[in-house]
């Protein structure tokens, strides 16, 4: 069937049919194929991007590229100063932020509460001790201040309050979680860590789509260190931001070779993702593929109908082609090539729109989902696979109707007899 | 060269069977110019379709150049049509999206002739039928007579053994018909075998042999 002669004649026929067909019909078919392509790529891309946005946010604003945290059986990272020196010596490292982390509580109404039976307005939170400049260099968290101001190095007894610890930002209840009422920048609250109480002033409210930020309390590292009585400068977490192009896995491995993994967990941002996130990415990807496959069926039906109508209306000419001695296979190939042309053009337009406009635009203007800034995830390999699928589907969808018509009796086709 | 033996063709319509050809015996030699005549429904076009392998008879034999063409497979028949037969249709049957040149070149390309040679040959034959100046016109840009001349150029470009013509002048005015018949006359004078169906007595006179059909049978076969 696919002899070089038949392909040559098929190409000859297809080229002329496309060239002389109605421009608007051609544009319409390519338009349909373009949207089919977008359906294939964008639906799953947005579903995965929904989670990828959250993953990116955690990477950019919390873990950074590599995160070092305490071992499960340790309360902090031993030999932290030495590890920090190793990190600083690595050429791939752009900046780093060492954090102290302890569990604690905040009480808002301790001054106004006169009756012992009155319920204290208490919220439990993770308390982070940070160097505000270093932290901001790594995670840029100052841009998430929605009220008040970001911490300054000399601030004393001042905290940043995660928005979900403020009742007015926490518009939902869930068991076991309480937020503070009537708090705002300038208000004093009582901070209790390891039984040590401290009256601190809320300097700012921080709100981001990263739970560690929105549910945490941030204060100057030296103060938290003094509260918890840790005088050895051992920290609980170190987030490392790498220079553009540096490979987090490589830096992780270098740190492990230096023995850091003996005293701490060394993870890239991917390693640090909870398993349920990875499972959700896989699930959303599967869901996207299922939805895309419906698009693929729609595309194949569209091409089937287009080619079938084309072949039926051209039945007489197909009969003439056979009558003058053109091989049936060459005629079928001409329809296959036409289907291929429509799918190819739709895909090319799709790729241009996707990578030239849609993906960069959505990266710059993410969809504001409640828990993430959704972006469009469209890796080249996945897109190529989908283009391949679209091509194969449309080629089959183009071939079948062409074959149905081409196989009809030559004379019946020429005379228009059924 | 072409030998038709006891050729029968019938059409079924539900329970009814209509016998259109009722046992045709007929022979043509190389270089013959035969006109097949008869009233409407006599079976003349049906006979032409069977001989030109566009249709399959109910029974009988057709031998062309000593090849039993009815024994050929579909693909072999297509190849046979391509190499040995030429066909001029009543309604020209040109492919509307192709220029006159492309219409004529297409069967040549199918014979695996290079594009350059195919186009050169197509130009030669279009010039032969007087359309050397209309090579790149689409069928829709040509008159009926011109379209029929393109159809003739396409039918003869690959130098077929037999040229079949089904009412080639039926849709044309007198002037165009005369031009077409003059082309046939010239082709015949050069040795082309032509079998033409016509109902116009005036144009049957161009042939050297006239076969009359009636009710699916040959009722006369005479040399002019």
pLDDT digit string, tens, across residues B71-105: 998 888 888 988 899 999 888 889 998 999 999 99
Of B82, B83, B95, the CB nearest to A320: B95
Chain A's closest residue to B89, CA to CA, is: A320
* Domain with B169 in it: 2-223
Q: How confident is the model at residue A254 (pLDDT cuts 50, 70, 90)?
A: very high
What is the residue-averaged pLDDT of chain B?
91
Q: Is B112 on the interface with A (CB under 8 A)?
A: yes
B37-63 pLDDT, tens digit each: 998 889 999 999 999 998 989 999 999
Measure the CA–CA gap between B221 and B224, rounded to whole angstroms.
Answer: 10
CATH number at residue B148: 3.40.50.300
Q: Interior CA angle at A125 toward A120 and A127, to 5°?
A: 125
Q: Supply B124's token pair.
A: 């030669």
pTM for this structure? Answer: 0.74
Question: Cβ(B48)–Cβ(B211) under 8 Å?
Answer: no
Residues of chain A positioned with their CB less than 8 A from the CB of B110? 5, 9, 325-327, 330
A139-188 pLDDT, tens digit each: 999 999 999 999 999 899 999 999 999 988 887 667 777 888 888 999 99
Q: Is B79 on the interface with A (CB under 8 A)?
A: yes
Q: Supply A151's token pair.
A: 């911490």
Of B93, B98, B107, the CB nearest to A325: B107
Q: Interior CA angle at A68 toward A63 and A73, to 5°?
A: 120
Of A5, A321, A411, the CB nearest to B55: A411
Residues of chain A positioned with their CB less than 8 A from the CB of B78? 322, 325-328
Give me the number of domains chain B comprises: 1
B14-31 pLDDT, tens digit each: 888 889 999 999 899 999
Place of tokens 């204060």: A219
Place of tokens 């604003």: A61
Q: How confident is the model at residue A53 (pLDDT cuts 50, 70, 90)?
A: confident
- Which residues 154-213 of B have a C-beta within 8 angstroms of A? 154-155
Measure the CA–CA gap between B82 and B62, rounded to whole angstroms.
Answer: 17
The residues of A whose Cβ lies within 8 A of any Cβ of B are 5, 8-9, 12, 16-17, 19-21, 316-317, 320-328, 330, 409-411, 414
Q: Is B137 on the interface with A (CB under 8 A)?
A: no
Chain A's closest residue to B86, CA to CA, is: A324
Residues of chain A positioned with their CB less than 8 A from the CB of B95? 16, 317, 320-321
Distance of CA B157 to the CA centre of its chain: 13
């Amino acid at each position: 069937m696919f002899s070089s002669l038949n392909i040559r004649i098929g190409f000859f026929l297809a080229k002329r049919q496309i060239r002389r067909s109605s421009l608007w019909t051609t544009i319409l078919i390519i338009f349909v194929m373009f949207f089919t392509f977008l359906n294939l790529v964008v639906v799953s891309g947005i579903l995965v991007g929904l989670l990828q946005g959250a993953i990116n946010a955690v990477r950019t604003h919390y873990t950074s590229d590599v995160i070092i945290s305490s071992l499960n059986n340790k309360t902090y990272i031993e030999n932290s100063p030495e590890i920090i020196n190793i990190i600083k010596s690595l050429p791939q490292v752009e900046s780093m932020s060492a954090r102290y982390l302890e569990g604690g509580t905040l009480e808002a109404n301790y001054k106004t509460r006169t009756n012992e039976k009155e319920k204290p307005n208490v919220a439990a939170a993770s308390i982070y001790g940070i160097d505000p400049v270093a932290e901001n260099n790594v995670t840029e968290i100052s841009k998430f201040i929605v009220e008040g101001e970001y911490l300054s190095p000399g601030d004393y007894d001042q905290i940043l309050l995660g928005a979900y610890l403020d009742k007015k930002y926490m518009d939902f209840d869930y068991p076991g979680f309480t937020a503070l009422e009537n708090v705002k920048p300038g208000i004093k609250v009582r901070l209790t860590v390891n039984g040590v109480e401290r009256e601190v002033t809320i300097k700012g409210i921080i709100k981001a789509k990263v739970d560690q930020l929105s549910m945490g309390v941030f204060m100057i590292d030296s103060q938290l260190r003094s509260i918890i009585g840790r005088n050895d400068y051992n920290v609980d977490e170190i987030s490392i931001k790498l220079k553009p192009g540096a490979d987090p896995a490589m830096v992780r491995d270098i740190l492990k070779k230096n023995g850091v993994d003996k005293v701490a967990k060394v993870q890239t941002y991917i390693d640090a993702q909870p398993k349920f996130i990875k499972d959700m990415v896989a699930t959303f990807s599967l869901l996207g593929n299922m939805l895309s496959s419906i698009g693929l069926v729609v595309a194949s039906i569209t091409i089937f109908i287009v080619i079938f109508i084309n072949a039926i209306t051209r039945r007489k000419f197909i009969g003439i082609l056979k009558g003058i001695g053109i091989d049936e296979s060459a005629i079928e190939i001409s329809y296959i090539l036409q289907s291929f042309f429509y799918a190819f053009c739709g895909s090319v337009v799709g790729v241009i729109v996707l990578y030239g406009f849609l993906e960069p635009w959505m990266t710059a203007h993410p969809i504001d989902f409640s828990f993430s800034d959704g972006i469009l995830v469209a890796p080249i390999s996945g897109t190529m696979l989908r283009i391949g699928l679209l091509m194969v589907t449309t080629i089959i969808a183009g071939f079948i109707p062409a074959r149905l018509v081409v196989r009809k009796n030559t004379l019946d086709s020429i005379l228009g007899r059924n | 060269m072409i030998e038709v033996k006891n050729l029968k063709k019938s059409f079924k319509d539900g329970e009814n069977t209509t016998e259109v050809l009722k046992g045709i015996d007929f022979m043509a030699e190389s270089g013959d110019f035969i006109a097949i005549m008869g009233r409407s429904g006599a079976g003349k076009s049906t006979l032409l379709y069977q001989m030109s392998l566009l249709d399959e008879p109910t029974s009988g034999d057709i031998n062309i150049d000593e090849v039993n063409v009815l024994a050929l497979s579909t693909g072999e028949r297509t190849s046979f049509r391509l190499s040995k037969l030429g066909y001029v249709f009543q309604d020209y049957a040109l492919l509307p999206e192709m220029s006159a040149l492309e219409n004529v070149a297409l069967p040549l390309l199918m014979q695996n002739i290079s594009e350059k040679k195919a186009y050169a040959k197509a130009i030669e034959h279009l010039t032969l039928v007087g359309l050397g100046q209309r090579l790149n016109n689409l069928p829709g840009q040509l008159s009926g007579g011109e379209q029929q001349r393109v159809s003739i150029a396409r039918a003869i470009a690959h130098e077929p053994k037999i040229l079949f013509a089904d009412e080639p002048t039926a849709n044309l005015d007198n002037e165009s018909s005369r031009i077409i018949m003059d082309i046939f006359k010239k082709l015949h004078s050069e040795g082309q075998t032509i079998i033409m169906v016509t109902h116009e007595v005036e144009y049957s006179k161009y042939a050297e042999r006239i076969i009359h059909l009636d009710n699916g049978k040959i009722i006369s076969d005479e040399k002019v």
